[in-house]
Amino acid sequence: MRRTAARPYRPPGARVRLGLVVLGAILLLFAGTAPAVASPYPPLNIALDRDFLGNLTGPDLNPGGSGTLAFTVSDPLSSALSGVVVTLAVYAFNQFPGNATSLLPVAGAPVLSTPSGSGDSVNVSLGTISPGRTVPGSIGVATSSSTPRGEFAVRTAVAFTLASNGTAYRLESRGWFSTATWLAATELPNGSTTLNLSVLGVSGVTPETAIYIAGNSFDWALGAILVAGFACVGVGAWLYFRKGPGSRSGAR
Protein backbone atom coordinates (compact mmCIF):
# COMPACT_ATOMS: atom_id res chain seq x y z
CA MET A 1 0.00 0.00 0.00
CA ARG A 2 1.58 3.29 -1.07
CA ARG A 3 1.04 6.78 0.31
CA THR A 4 2.31 9.92 -1.31
CA ALA A 5 3.60 12.73 0.90
CA ALA A 6 1.96 16.10 1.40
CA ARG A 7 2.83 18.61 4.07
CA PRO A 8 4.92 18.12 7.23
CA TYR A 9 3.38 17.82 10.65
CA ARG A 10 4.33 17.19 14.24
CA PRO A 11 2.16 15.11 16.56
CA PRO A 12 0.18 17.59 18.73
CA GLY A 13 1.79 18.18 22.09
CA ALA A 14 4.75 15.91 21.39
CA ARG A 15 8.19 17.15 22.42
CA VAL A 16 10.09 15.99 19.36
CA ARG A 17 13.47 17.43 20.12
CA LEU A 18 15.54 19.37 17.63
CA GLY A 19 18.56 17.23 18.37
CA LEU A 20 16.59 14.07 17.59
CA VAL A 21 15.90 15.38 14.09
CA VAL A 22 19.65 15.73 13.63
CA LEU A 23 20.14 12.28 15.10
CA GLY A 24 17.62 10.78 12.69
CA ALA A 25 19.51 12.18 9.72
CA ILE A 26 22.85 10.93 11.04
CA LEU A 27 21.41 7.45 11.62
CA LEU A 28 20.79 7.14 7.88
CA LEU A 29 24.57 6.71 7.54
CA PHE A 30 24.47 3.45 9.46
CA ALA A 31 23.85 0.09 7.84
CA GLY A 32 20.86 -0.61 10.07
CA THR A 33 19.39 -0.34 13.53
CA ALA A 34 16.92 -3.16 14.09
CA PRO A 35 14.86 -5.36 11.79
CA ALA A 36 11.26 -4.61 11.00
CA VAL A 37 8.64 -7.05 12.21
CA ALA A 38 8.63 -10.33 10.30
CA SER A 39 4.89 -10.55 9.69
CA PRO A 40 3.02 -7.58 8.21
CA TYR A 41 0.21 -5.78 10.01
CA PRO A 42 -2.77 -4.23 8.20
CA PRO A 43 -2.22 -0.54 7.41
CA LEU A 44 -4.24 2.27 8.97
CA ASN A 45 -5.10 5.62 7.44
CA ILE A 46 -1.98 7.81 7.54
CA ALA A 47 -4.04 10.71 8.89
CA LEU A 48 -4.55 8.69 12.10
CA ASP A 49 -0.88 7.91 12.80
CA ARG A 50 -0.27 10.94 14.97
CA ASP A 51 -3.44 10.38 17.00
CA PHE A 52 -2.43 7.11 18.68
CA LEU A 53 0.76 8.12 20.53
CA GLY A 54 1.40 11.72 21.56
CA ASN A 55 2.62 14.17 24.19
CA LEU A 56 5.99 12.43 24.38
CA THR A 57 8.01 14.19 27.07
CA GLY A 58 11.57 12.97 27.53
CA PRO A 59 13.38 14.25 30.64
CA ASP A 60 16.39 16.57 30.84
CA LEU A 61 18.76 15.08 33.41
CA ASN A 62 22.20 15.46 34.92
CA PRO A 63 24.42 12.35 35.22
CA GLY A 64 23.20 10.40 38.24
CA GLY A 65 19.74 11.97 38.11
CA SER A 66 16.38 10.37 37.51
CA GLY A 67 13.09 11.50 35.99
CA THR A 68 10.01 10.47 34.04
CA LEU A 69 9.23 9.95 30.38
CA ALA A 70 5.53 10.65 29.84
CA PHE A 71 3.14 10.03 26.94
CA THR A 72 -0.52 9.60 26.05
CA VAL A 73 -2.32 6.99 23.96
CA SER A 74 -5.64 7.75 22.25
CA ASP A 75 -8.22 5.76 20.33
CA PRO A 76 -9.16 7.68 17.15
CA LEU A 77 -11.12 4.74 15.73
CA SER A 78 -14.79 3.81 16.02
CA SER A 79 -14.02 0.59 17.91
CA ALA A 80 -12.33 0.04 21.26
CA LEU A 81 -8.63 -0.90 21.35
CA SER A 82 -7.97 -3.94 23.54
CA GLY A 83 -4.67 -5.23 24.88
CA VAL A 84 -2.93 -1.91 24.26
CA VAL A 85 0.83 -2.14 24.83
CA VAL A 86 3.33 0.71 24.39
CA THR A 87 6.99 -0.21 23.90
CA LEU A 88 9.77 2.31 24.54
CA ALA A 89 13.44 1.52 23.97
CA VAL A 90 16.70 3.48 24.14
CA TYR A 91 18.52 2.58 20.93
CA ALA A 92 21.04 5.26 19.90
CA PHE A 93 23.23 8.00 21.37
CA ASN A 94 24.27 11.41 20.04
CA GLN A 95 27.26 12.50 22.11
CA PHE A 96 28.31 16.04 23.01
CA PRO A 97 30.88 17.48 22.60
CA GLY A 98 31.81 15.98 19.26
CA ASN A 99 28.32 15.23 17.98
CA ALA A 100 29.33 11.58 17.47
CA THR A 101 26.40 9.24 16.99
CA SER A 102 26.52 5.57 17.93
CA LEU A 103 24.10 2.73 18.36
CA LEU A 104 23.76 1.12 21.77
CA PRO A 105 25.26 -0.35 23.87
CA VAL A 106 26.80 2.75 25.44
CA ALA A 107 28.34 2.50 28.90
CA GLY A 108 26.16 4.26 31.48
CA ALA A 109 23.10 4.51 29.19
CA PRO A 110 19.84 5.52 30.92
CA VAL A 111 17.75 2.69 32.35
CA LEU A 112 13.99 2.67 31.71
CA SER A 113 11.71 1.20 34.35
CA THR A 114 8.11 0.19 35.03
CA PRO A 115 6.62 -1.58 38.08
CA SER A 116 7.16 -4.89 36.28
CA GLY A 117 10.71 -4.50 34.98
CA SER A 118 13.60 -2.34 33.83
CA GLY A 119 16.25 -2.13 31.14
CA ASP A 120 16.94 -0.36 27.86
CA SER A 121 13.48 -1.47 26.64
CA VAL A 122 10.19 -1.67 28.54
CA ASN A 123 6.52 -2.39 27.81
CA VAL A 124 3.59 -0.50 29.31
CA SER A 125 0.22 -2.29 29.27
CA LEU A 126 -2.79 0.03 29.16
CA GLY A 127 -5.62 -2.50 28.83
CA THR A 128 -8.64 -1.37 26.82
CA ILE A 129 -9.13 2.16 25.48
CA SER A 130 -12.59 3.28 24.36
CA PRO A 131 -13.17 5.28 21.16
CA GLY A 132 -12.32 8.95 21.65
CA ARG A 133 -10.61 8.36 25.00
CA THR A 134 -7.03 9.39 25.85
CA VAL A 135 -5.02 7.52 28.48
CA PRO A 136 -1.82 8.89 30.07
CA GLY A 137 1.22 6.74 30.68
CA SER A 138 4.76 7.11 31.97
CA ILE A 139 7.96 5.25 32.73
CA GLY A 140 10.87 5.98 35.03
CA VAL A 141 14.30 7.00 33.70
CA ALA A 142 17.46 6.59 35.80
CA THR A 143 21.06 7.54 34.99
CA SER A 144 24.40 6.95 36.68
CA SER A 145 27.34 9.21 37.43
CA SER A 146 29.04 7.72 34.35
CA THR A 147 26.22 8.54 31.93
CA PRO A 148 27.78 10.66 29.13
CA ARG A 149 26.42 14.02 28.00
CA GLY A 150 24.26 14.08 24.91
CA GLU A 151 20.94 12.72 23.71
CA PHE A 152 19.74 9.13 23.93
CA ALA A 153 17.15 8.41 21.25
CA VAL A 154 14.03 6.51 22.33
CA ARG A 155 12.07 4.56 19.73
CA THR A 156 8.42 3.74 20.27
CA ALA A 157 5.75 1.23 19.24
CA VAL A 158 2.04 0.81 19.93
CA ALA A 159 0.33 -2.57 19.61
CA PHE A 160 -3.36 -3.38 20.09
CA THR A 161 -6.24 -5.56 18.95
CA LEU A 162 -9.37 -4.02 17.48
CA ALA A 163 -12.20 -5.16 19.75
CA SER A 164 -14.79 -5.20 16.97
CA ASN A 165 -13.07 -7.83 14.81
CA GLY A 166 -10.02 -9.13 16.69
CA THR A 167 -7.52 -7.78 14.15
CA ALA A 168 -4.04 -7.05 15.53
CA TYR A 169 -2.30 -3.77 14.67
CA ARG A 170 1.16 -2.41 15.39
CA LEU A 171 2.66 1.03 14.78
CA GLU A 172 6.42 1.61 15.05
CA SER A 173 8.82 4.55 14.87
CA ARG A 174 11.80 5.07 12.56
CA GLY A 175 14.26 3.48 14.95
CA TRP A 176 12.89 -0.04 14.49
CA PHE A 177 13.88 -0.26 10.83
CA SER A 178 17.17 -0.71 9.05
CA THR A 179 18.32 2.13 6.85
CA ALA A 180 17.79 0.04 3.71
CA THR A 181 14.23 -0.87 4.71
CA TRP A 182 13.34 2.71 5.63
CA LEU A 183 14.69 4.11 2.36
CA ALA A 184 12.88 1.46 0.35
CA ALA A 185 9.61 2.43 2.05
CA THR A 186 9.99 6.21 1.89
CA GLU A 187 11.76 7.00 -1.39
CA LEU A 188 10.56 6.36 -4.93
CA PRO A 189 12.98 5.60 -7.79
CA ASN A 190 12.64 9.21 -9.02
CA GLY A 191 13.69 10.53 -5.61
CA SER A 192 10.28 11.75 -4.47
CA THR A 193 8.96 10.77 -1.05
CA THR A 194 6.34 8.21 -0.17
CA LEU A 195 5.35 5.95 2.73
CA ASN A 196 4.84 2.30 1.84
CA LEU A 197 3.60 0.50 4.94
CA SER A 198 3.66 -2.84 3.13
CA VAL A 199 7.46 -2.56 2.94
CA LEU A 200 7.71 -1.64 6.61
CA GLY A 201 5.25 -4.34 7.64
CA VAL A 202 3.46 -2.12 10.16
CA SER A 203 0.10 -0.38 10.51
CA GLY A 204 1.56 3.11 10.86
CA VAL A 205 4.49 5.21 12.07
CA THR A 206 4.82 6.68 15.56
CA PRO A 207 7.01 9.60 16.74
CA GLU A 208 10.20 9.30 18.76
CA THR A 209 11.66 11.28 21.64
CA ALA A 210 14.97 11.53 23.50
CA ILE A 211 16.50 11.65 26.95
CA TYR A 212 18.84 14.64 27.23
CA ILE A 213 21.84 14.44 29.58
CA ALA A 214 23.04 17.99 30.10
CA GLY A 215 25.81 17.73 32.69
CA ASN A 216 26.06 20.22 35.53
CA SER A 217 25.15 23.21 33.38
CA PHE A 218 23.53 23.82 30.01
CA ASP A 219 26.07 24.25 27.24
CA TRP A 220 24.75 26.88 24.84
CA ALA A 221 27.11 25.60 22.14
CA LEU A 222 25.08 22.38 21.95
CA GLY A 223 22.00 24.37 21.06
CA ALA A 224 23.90 26.24 18.35
CA ILE A 225 25.14 22.99 16.82
CA LEU A 226 21.67 21.46 16.81
CA VAL A 227 20.12 24.56 15.23
CA ALA A 228 22.75 24.49 12.48
CA GLY A 229 22.17 20.79 11.95
CA PHE A 230 18.43 21.29 11.75
CA ALA A 231 18.83 23.74 8.92
CA CYS A 232 20.77 21.09 6.98
CA VAL A 233 18.34 18.22 7.49
CA GLY A 234 14.97 19.87 7.04
CA VAL A 235 14.14 17.42 4.29
CA GLY A 236 14.81 14.54 6.67
CA ALA A 237 12.49 16.04 9.25
CA TRP A 238 9.79 16.34 6.60
CA LEU A 239 10.03 12.59 6.02
CA TYR A 240 9.51 11.76 9.67
CA PHE A 241 6.66 14.12 10.57
CA ARG A 242 4.07 14.76 7.92
CA LYS A 243 0.35 14.62 7.44
CA GLY A 244 -1.83 14.41 4.41
CA PRO A 245 -5.54 14.51 3.77
CA GLY A 246 -7.23 11.31 4.90
CA SER A 247 -8.82 8.85 2.51
CA ARG A 248 -10.25 5.40 2.83
CA SER A 249 -7.32 3.97 0.95
CA GLY A 250 -4.85 5.74 3.23
CA ALA A 251 -3.19 7.39 0.25
CA ARG A 252 -1.77 10.86 0.53
- HSE of 123 in the Cβ direction (CA atoms, 13 Å)? 8
Alpha carbon dihedral 76, 81, 87, 92, in 10-degree steps, equals: -30
Domains and CATH numbers, the chain: 2-243 (2.60.40.10)
Please state, rounded to an integer, the average pLDDT across all residues of the chain.
78
The string of pLDDT tens digits covering residues 189-224 is: 888 998 999 999 999 999 999 999 986 544 545 544
Average pLDDT over residues 170-186: 94
Q: Are the beta carbons of 107 and 90 closer than 8 angstroms?
A: no
The string of pLDDT tens digits covering residues 20-70 is: 433 444 444 443 444 434 458 999 998 888 899 999 999 999 999 999 999
Q: Are the beta carbons of 245 and 252 closer than 8 angstroms?
A: yes
pLDDT of residue 157: 98
Question: Is pLDDT at 98 greater than 80 in this prediction?
Answer: no
> DSSP class of residue 46?
G
**Cis-peptide, bond into residue 105, ω within 30° of zero:** yes
Of 13 and 193, which is predicted with more confidence? 193
Of 101 and 32, which is predicted with more confidence? 101
- Cβ neighbours of residue 229 closer than 8 Å, sequence gap 6 or more: 19, 21, 22, 25, 99
pLDDT of residue 139: 98
- Please report which confidence band the pLDDT of residue 6 belongs to, taking 50, 70 and 90 as the band edges: very low
For the purposes of burial, counting CB atoms within 10 Å of the CB of 127, is it exposed (0-12), middle (13-18) or buried (19 or more)? exposed
